[in-house]
Amino acid sequence: MASSPSLLEETMLLFFVFLLFTSCSLSAQETVHKNDSLSFSFPLTSLRRSSQASPSFYSSFISQNKKAPPLKTSSFSSSPYNYRSGFKYSMILLVSLPIGTPPQTQEMILDTGSQLSWIQCHKKVPKKPPPSSVFDPSLSSSFSVLPCNHPLCKPRIPDFTLPTSCDQNRLCHYSYFYADGTLAEGNLVREKITFSRSQSTPPLILGCAEESRDDKGILGMNLGRLSFASQAKITKFSYCVPTRQARPGLTSTGSFYLGENPNSGGFQYISLLTFSQSQRMPNLDPLAYTVAMQGIRVGNQKLNIPISAFRPGPSGAGQTMIDSGSEFTYLVDEAYNKVREEVVRLVGPKLKKGYVYGGVSDMCFDGNPIEIGRLIGNMVFEFDKGVEIVVEKERVLAEVGGGVHCVGIGRSEMLGAASNIIGNFHQQNIWVEFDLANRRVGLGKADCSRSV
């Protein structure tokens, strides 16, 4: 048996690979924008996730009882860098980021509904080919841990509702449950994200998960002051979700930008809704990307849903948010029932009777999805300023396994939520840009498997 390489040899090897990788990447795909900032493109392969009994839902707000105030626009400054990556897509949006010094590639779920970013730091490294999904802190010179006396380890920290405590080593320990039951538990740490030899973030506060039910990390991108976007002073980010591949073994790759997107000239923008301290309500997430939805069309039929169903009421119920961490779209009952009525009117006899996918969606079918999609027609989500998300009839149904296809919409009430959530299934072949400095969201049609 060959002897294991020493820590020094491993570190030198990693650093050499990084230098080789970044020099190739920079020479091939470095871009200068009009503002003279650089954009770095990192290639990324695609991976289909294993089948599940329910749709993915990684956003954390539904699992939290405490709420926090929205981030002030003035806290954003010009982005210090621009970065582009592809991401893997099956039921989650998966990006790979180079973390640490020298960098270790980490796969992270892109989640605009969460604040805390965390990486996998399991002590027992799984037996899998490199790059491993597990981060090794001992190999990074920029890694540090947060002690118990750090302000974040004290209760009632504004804008950060994560349960923290002191562990036996006097380090800041956290435990985080997501809405779909995913658990992340470990220590809060500081670490850099290294985009190139000359560009990296300052040390950011991250979770270093030693216990997790998922083998991926989370890239928290909401409006909280401790999200990745806020800590790294990102003023703009965007992604393009490719269409799902129907055949097993095939996966899709889209694009993810930090900073300027060269495609933004064709985007249509809708304003983000903001909420003052006095407007904080039990069912409202003030850190979400909240937009003003106006209505829904199915086929050529505008559904009779009052606009009030898409706006926060006195309790906060009815908020409409765009969320990359949710697979399906979720609607409050007043809206969901109208969508279901229209689907029943169009294809009622073809419904799979008594079947509810994941406990959230009862608009499912055994039959030919192409034929059923044609009968349902396009589905359109209408926003202010005439902006629309058009879901073409070929993409109205989501394959959920066993030959069953469902309309990609669930009841938010079944999640314990009182919100309308536009999930990534209905963001396919669309550029979605979050312009934080101008508090708006941009949408633009695209062929995301070919977008650059």
What pLDDT was estimated at residue 109?
87
Q: CB atoms < 10 A from the CB of 283, how many?
A: 18
Determine the pLDDT at residue 155: 61
Buried b (16+ CB within 10 A) or exposed e, 26-48: eeeeeeeeeeebbbbbbebebeb
| Confidence (pLDDT) at 46 | 31
- Tell me the angle at which helices 333-347 and 369-376 cross, rounded to the nearest 10 degrees: 110
List the structure tokens of 274: 């903001």
Q: Which helix (H) or strand (E) holds 111?
A: strand 104-111
Instruction: Assign 287 to helix, strand or coil.
Output: coil
Closest to 52 measured CA to CA, from 429, 369, 398: 398
The pair of three-digit structure tokens given for residue 317, joined into one six-digit string: 């119920």
Report the alpha-carbon distance of residue 353 to residue 404 in Å, rounded. Answer: 12
Residue 118 structure tokens: 């965390």
Catalytic residues: 111, 323
Q: Which of 287, 151, 154 is nearest to 229 (CA)?
A: 287
Domains of the chain (ranges plus CATH)?
A: 41-47+90-234 (2.40.70.10), 253-445 (2.40.70.10)
Residues of the chain with pLDDT under 70: 1-90, 122-133, 155-162, 177-182, 211-214, 245-250, 277-278, 451-452
Lookup: tokens for 359: 């406990």
DSSP string over 32-60: E-TTS-EEEEE-----PPPP-SS--B--S
C-alpha–C-alpha distance, residues 424 and 324, integer Å: 5
d(CA 255, CA 93): 10
The pLDDT score that the predictor gives to residue 130 is: 44
What is the reported pLDDT for 350? 96
> What are the tens digits of pLDDT across the range 289-323?
999 999 999 998 999 999 999 999 888 899 999 99
Eight-state DSSP code of residue 185: E
Q: Longest Cα pair distance anywhere in the chain, in angstroms?
A: 71
Residue with tokens 């020094």: 8
This model's pTM is above 0.75: yes
Give yes or no for a contact between 241 and 322, defined as CB atoms under 8 angstroms apart.
Answer: no
Task: Indicate left, alpha or beta for 401 from its phi (over 0: left) and psi (-120 to 50: alpha).
Answer: left
